[in-house]
Amino acid sequence: MTGERPTGLRGLLPLLRPRVSLGQLTGGLLCLVLGFAAVAQIRSNERDTTFATARQDELVLILSDLGQRSERLRGDLRELEETKARLEQDAQGRTALEEARRRATAYGLLAGVLPAEGPGIEMVITDPDGGVAAFGLLDALQELRDAGAEVIQVNDVRVGVDTYFLDDRNGVRVDGRPLTPPYRFLAIGDAHTMTTALNIPGGVVRTLQDAGATVSIASRAKVTVDAIRSS
Amino acid sequence: MIALIGLVIGVALGLLVRPDVPLWLEPYLPIAIVAALDAMFGGIRARLEGIFDEKVFVVSFVSNTVIAALIVFLGDKLGVGSQLSTGVVVVLGIRIFSNAAGIRRKLFGA
C-alpha cells in the first residue's frame, strides 16, 4: 500500500485508456490466448467426463459389469431365438399353447393366485413382548424381496405386490387380516442369498432382536406355499 | 485496454472455433489457466498501485503458466500428479485471493 486514498471504480478508467506499445500488444496477445484456452478447457470439461476422470479400477469394474450384462442378455437372446424357432415350426400351435401356459404359471406365481413349492427358507419371528411393529415386518418382507424371494407367505397370508402391514390395537394386520405371533415367513428363492441378506450386521434380524423378538431362520429344500390370494 | 480486447477476442474465438483440447495437454491446461489468471490479477493490481511494468507482466505471465504446467508434469512422472496439481491450485488460489484483496483495497479502500 502506498497510502493513497482509494480511488473507487473511477480508478479503473485510466486502465482502459488504450496505450499502444509492444509490451501492451504482447499482454493483449497473452490475454487472447488465455481467453481462448479457458473457453476450450471449459468446453472440453462440459463433455461427458464420467469415464475420463474415473480411476483404473473403477473402469475395470464398469467393464466387467458390462461384460456380465451383455453375457446375460446374450443368454436371454438365445432363449428367445429358440422359442421363436419352435413357434415358427409349430403348425398345430402346441408350442404356442405350452408357452402361454408357462407364462400363465409364472404370472400366477407372481400374482399369488397359484400355490408354489420350491427350495427356500422359513423364518420364524417370536415376539413375546409385542415389540415388533408393522414397520419391522415390512422391513423383513422387503429384505426378502430384495434378496430374490420369488414367492412369500406370512403365516397364512400370501404376499402380493400390494401387500401391506398395519399396526392395530390388537397387534399387526396384514392385508386387513389380523396376524398373530409367532410370525412365520415362508420364502421361495435362493436360501443362501436370503439368509445372508437377513443376517447382515445392523440389518433386519438385528433390528428385530433389538425390538425384543427372537428370529430363527432355517433353509429348507422344499418350502410349500399353499396360501393363495383371491384375485 | 488492449489486454481486455485480447481477452474478449480470445473468448469469442474459443466460442466460434470450438477447439478440442489435445489429449497430451489436457492435464496441464487447467493449471496453466489458473496460473495465467493469477498473473492477470497480479498485473491489474500492479497497475492500480502504479508499479505496473509490461515486461514484468509478460515474463511473469509466461513463466507462471509454464512453471505451473511443468510442476504438474513432473508430479505426473513422479506419480503424485493429482496431489501436486491440488497443491498448485491451492497456492495459486491463495495468490489470486490476495491479489483480488489488493485490487479491492486500492479501489474501495476496504
DSSP class per residue in B9-65: HHHHHHHHH-PPPPGGGTTTHHHHHHHHHHHHHHHHHHHHTT---HHHHHHHHHHHH
- Distance in angstroms (rounded) separating the CA atoms of residues A133 and A8: 69
The CA distance from B32 to B62, in Å, is: 9
B29–A contact, CB cutoff 8 A? yes
CA distances from B73 to B28, B32, B85 (A): 7, 11, 9
Cβ of residue B48 closer than 8 Å to a chain A Cβ: yes
Reduced to 3 states (helix: H, G, I; strand: E, B; else coil), residue B85 is: helix
CA A109 – CA A115 distance, rounded (Å): 7
| Sequence ranges of the domains in chain A | 56-109, 115-225
Query: Is ipTM beyond 0.95?
Result: no
| Mean residue pLDDT across chain A | 82
| Predicted TM-score of the model (pTM) | 0.47
Sheet holding A214-225, edge to edge: A157-158, A151-154, A183-188, A116-126, A214-225
Nearest CB to B58 within list A15, A30, A41: A30
B94, B42 contact by CB (below 8 A)? no
Pick B58's closest partner by Cβ from A15, A16, A26. Answer: A26
Under CATH, which architecture does the A115-225 domain have?
A: 2-Layer Sandwich (3.30)
Tell me whether B62 touches chain A (CB under 8 Å): yes
Chain B residues closer than 8 Å to A16 by CB: 1, 4
CB-CB neighbors (< 8 A) of B18 in chain A: 43
Strands (E) in chain A, as ranges, are 116-126, 151-154, 157-158, 165-168, 171-174, 177-179, 183-188, 214-225
CB of A109 within 8 A of CB of A116? Answer: yes
- Residue B11 touches partner A, C-beta closer than 8 Å: yes
* Cβ neighbours of residue A194 closer than 8 Å, sequence gap 6 or more: A120, A121, A143, A144, A147, A148, A149, A187
**Residues forming beta bridges with residue A174, ordered by sequence position:** A165, A177
In the block, cell 404359471 appears at: A105
Mean pLDDT of A18-38: 79
Tell me the chain A residues in contact with residue B7 when contact means C-beta distances shorter than 8 Å.
31-32, 34-35
Q: How many Å apart are CA B94 and CA A183, to the nearest integer?
A: 63
Q: Do A39 and B14 touch (CB under 8 A)?
A: yes
Find the range with the poorest average confidence among A60-69, A97-106, A127-136, A209-218. A127-136
Distance CA A108, CA A112 (A): 6
- A19 and B108 in contact by Cβ < 8 A? no
Residue-wise pLDDT for B67-87, tens only, equals: 988 888 888 888 887 888 888
pLDDT of residue A4: 52
**For A6-20, A67-81, A101-115, which range has the lowest pLDDT when averaged over its residues?**
A6-20
Contacts of A201 (CB under 8 A, 6+ apart): none
- Is the Cβ of B109 closer than 8 Å to some Cβ of chain A? yes
Q: B47 and A8: CB-CB below 8 Å?
A: no
- Supply A228's cell numbers: 393363495
A91 in helix, strand or coil? coil
User: Hey, of A33, A45, A55, which one would you mutate to test binding to chain B, going by the most B CBs within 10 A of its CB?
Assistant: A33
